[in-house]
Amino acid sequence: MSERPRLTVLSGPSGVGKSTVVAHLRTVHPEVWLSVSATTRKPRPGEQHGVQYFFVDDEEFDKLVANGELLEWAEFAGNRYGTPRRAVLDRLDAGEPVLLEIDLQGARLVRDSMPEARLVFLAPPSWDELVRRLTGRGTETPEVIERRLTAARTELAAEPEFDTTLTNTSVEDVAAELLALMRVS
User: For each successive 10 residues of the chain (185 residues), what is the average pLDDT?
Assistant: 77 90 90 90 89 93 96 87 93 90 91 93 94 79 86 93 96 94 72
Alpha-carbon distance of 44 to 42, in angstroms, equals 6
Q: What are the C-alpha distances in Å from 57 to residues 47, 61, 102?
A: 16, 6, 21
Q: What are the C-alpha distances in Å from 120 to residues 38, 126, 164, 181?
A: 22, 18, 5, 9
pLDDT at 139: 72
pLDDT at 168: 95
Question: What pTM does this model have?
Answer: 0.86
pLDDT at 155: 92
Alpha-carbon distance of 77 to 104, in angstroms, equals 15
Instruction: Name the pairing type of β-strands 79-84 and 70-76.
Output: antiparallel
- DSSP H helices, the chain, are 18-28, 58-66, 85-93, 104-113, 127-135, 142-157, 171-183
Q: Say which residues have a Cβ less than 8 Å from residue 148's Cβ, sequence separation at least 6.
A: 14, 15, 134, 140
pLDDT at 1: 43
Instruction: Name the pairing type of β-strands 37-39 and 53-55.
Output: parallel
pLDDT at 103: 87
